[in-house]
Amino acid sequence: MLSKFAPRAFTAPVRYNAGAPLRAAFRPVMVARRTVTTDAASSHADKEDVPDSDDAPFQVKLSDEAFETYELDPPPYTLDTTKGELKKMYYDMVAVRRMEMAADRLYKEKKVRGFCHLSTGQEAVAVGIEHGIEKTDHIITAYRCHGFAMMRGGSVRSIIGELLGRREGIAHGKGGSMHMFSTGFYGGNGIVGAQVPVGAGIGFADQYLGKSSVTLSLYGDGASNQGQVFEAFNMAKLWNLPVIFACENNKYGMGTASARSSALPEYYKRGQFIPGLKINGMDVLAVKAAAEFGKQWCAAGKGPLVYEFVTYRYGGHSMSDPGTTYRTREEIQRMRSTNDPIAGLKLKILEWEVASEEELKAIDRKAREHVDEEVAAAEAMEAPHATQEVLYEDIYVRGSEPEFLRGRTPEENFYYPERPVQVPKSPAQT
């Protein structure tokens, strides 16, 4: 049964990290092939090995249940990190959650319009990935994008400002909750699955330009059934593109449990001819290790990978969905209380004496204060001016517009000023 999960690992139990501790190297292969759990606090480190300094490296051993593989030799079950980084990851997850809670409140106060999809519970995915890649790498995702936008460098005020439809929002109030863009971040996309081949195209451009960057093309368990996901898989493998197709399996697509939408709900095997990795997406350390491994894999020219981050969304699909008609309150409560990514990392930080309870409280406070200040700043931002100039700007690259575009009546037609073409620098180039 186990060999079904990782057929090649049976015959080639090669580990990548030569420097892995002996215990890991000699660990029987069978043990590594356990079922991935969503235990957020399963990694191990010996207190004695944790250095005093915040930036001195030490190694964390990931749990045997951090990964499952498909046609892939397992990645190292270790993670090189520092105390400083662990604290930063903790801060980041707390900040993302705080920001999502602010969005939740603002929506309930009717200050956020339309759809608002929150990632509460899924923070470890956005945070862990960012800590495992470089700023020159690329991410594209669906509409559940606030955390990614923030991790890619979007300020909290610009993200909340966007939700509030403000001029200084991250998309100047034009995009809204689902459409946010930033350095190496290609949105924030509203059409389920459509971002997946687009992500393959970003990888194509990297390959074309001779760059060694990696692209993570994220999608949900529901989205995984879109035909174009499979089309993207085929092209990526055919052309050996440096892309990680990363499914955030939060168990539901809107109100449909994954087993009701997917003939094979083991999303990491969906690439068929693409090696796959299933990852405990509630453990930020496992997520980071997987992102690092994938980046190296792609940089080495080994082509695409299919990832499955097993995670869970605490709230409804969007703010208008109570999220309790298609799953039990017990299920939600169990995930919240026993698999929470923030609580999990906190436990480890305390256990390994990376930081004291007081220090963590101080980090909590700092994150909270920062987010609250930023939210207040966002609320103080102005709405866009309701002018023709603002309405019609940026439909085309400035200076390259047609002479005019039509309004609701001919009186409202908007004539563009003559000006030089100003192509914006693509965030990808930074």
Partner 1 sequence: MVGSRVLRPAAQLLRSSPSVLPRCSFQKVTAPVAASRWRRTYASPSGSKEMTVRDALNEAMAEEMEKNSKVFVLGEEVGQYNGAYKVTKGLLDRFGEKRVIDSPITESGFCGLTVGAALAGLHPICEFMTFNFAMQAIDQIINSAAKTHYMSGGIQPCNITFRGPNGFASGVGAQHSQDYSAWYGSIPGLKVVAPYSAEDAKGLLKAAIRDPNPVVVLENELLYGLSFPMSEEAQSDEFVLPFGKAKIERPGKDLTMVTLSRCVGQCLVAAEMLKSKYGVEAEVINLRSVKPLDVEAIIKSVKKTGHMMAVESGFPSFGVGAELIALTAEYAFDYLEAPPVRVTGAEVPTPYAQCLEEMSFPSEQLIADYAAKLLRL
Indicate which of partner 1, ligand TPP, Mg ion, none lies near residue 227 (CB less than 5 to 8 Å, by partner kind): partner 1
* Phi-psi label, residue 336: left if phi above 0, alpha if psi -120 to 50, beta otherwise: alpha
Residue type present at position 157: R
Tell the residue number behind the tokens 């190297």, with chain if given: 25
In the 8-state DSSP scheme, what is residue 300? T
Binding mask 205-224 vs Mg ion (x if CB under 5 A, - otherwise)?
A: ---------------xxx--
Q: Which residues bind partner 1 (CB under 8 A)?
A: 113-115, 162, 165-167, 171, 173-179, 189-194, 222-223, 225-227, 253-256, 260-262, 325-326, 383-384, 386, 388, 390-392, 395, 405-412
Q: Could you tell me the smallest distance in angstroms from the CB atom of residue 227 to partner 1?
A: 5
In angstroms, what is the minimal distance from the CB of 226 to Mg ion?
A: 13
Least Cβ distance, residue 252 to Mg ion (angstroms): 5
Cβ proximity to ligand TPP, 165 vs 220, nearer residue:
220
Crossing angle of helices 83-108/341-351, nearest 10°? Answer: 150
Please list, in sequence order, all residues whose beta carbon lies within 8 angstroms of the beta carbon of residue 248, skipping any fewer than 6 positions away. 122, 125, 144, 218, 219, 220, 221, 281, 309, 311
Nearest to 64 by CA among 250, 249, 280: 280
Q: How far apart are CA 245 and CA 215, in angstroms?
A: 8
Minimum CB distance to ligand TPP smaller for 193 or for 203: 193
Among Mg ion, ligand TPP, partner 1, none, the one that 147 touches (CB under a kind-dependent 5 to 8 A) is none
Closest distance of CB 53 from ligand TPP, Å = 39
Tell me whether strands 215-220 and 138-142 are parallel, antiparallel or unpaired: parallel
Out of Mg ion, ligand TPP, partner 1, none, which partner does residue 325 contact, by CB within 5 to 8 A per kind?
partner 1
Name the binder of 144 from ligand TPP, partner 1, Mg ion, none, CB < 5-8 A by kind: ligand TPP
Using CB under 6 A as the binding rule, whether residue 223 contacts ligand TPP is answered as: yes
For 76, residues 6+ apart whose C-beta sits below 8 A from its C-beta are 15, 16, 17, 20, 24, 289, 293
Which position among 123, 221, 292, 340 is part of the footprint of ligand TPP (CB under 6 A)? 221
Cβ atoms of 230 and 274 closer than 8 Å: no
Exposed (0-12), middle (13-18) or buried (19+): which is 320, by Cβ within 10 Å?
A: exposed
- Three-state DSSP class for 44? strand
Nearest distance, CB of residue 221 and Mg ion, angstroms:
4
Q: Which is nearer to partner 1, 117 or 152 (CB)?
A: 117
Residue tagged 């690092």 (tokens)? 292
Buried b (16+ CB within 10 A) or exposed e, 49-74: ebeeeeeeebbbbbbbbbbbbbbbeb
192 near ligand TPP, judged by CB under 6 A: yes
Q: How far is the CB of 210 from Mg ion (least distance, A)?
A: 35
- Give every CB contact of residue 83 below 8 A, 6+ residues apart in sequence: 50, 51, 53, 54, 55, 56, 58, 354, 355
Residue type, 115: F
Output the smallest distance, CB 190 to ligand TPP, in A: 5
Q: Which is nearer to Mg ion, 147 or 222 (CB)?
A: 222
| Per-residue mark of binding to ligand TPP, 310-339 (x: CB under 6 A) | -------x----------------------
Site string for Mg ion, 240-269 (x = CB under 5 A): ----------x--x----------------
User: Shortest distance, CB of residue 14 to partner 1, whole angstroms?
Assistant: 36
Residues that bind ligand TPP (CB under 6 A): 144, 190-192, 219-223, 248, 250, 252-254, 317
Residues that bind Mg ion (CB under 5 A): 220-222, 250, 253
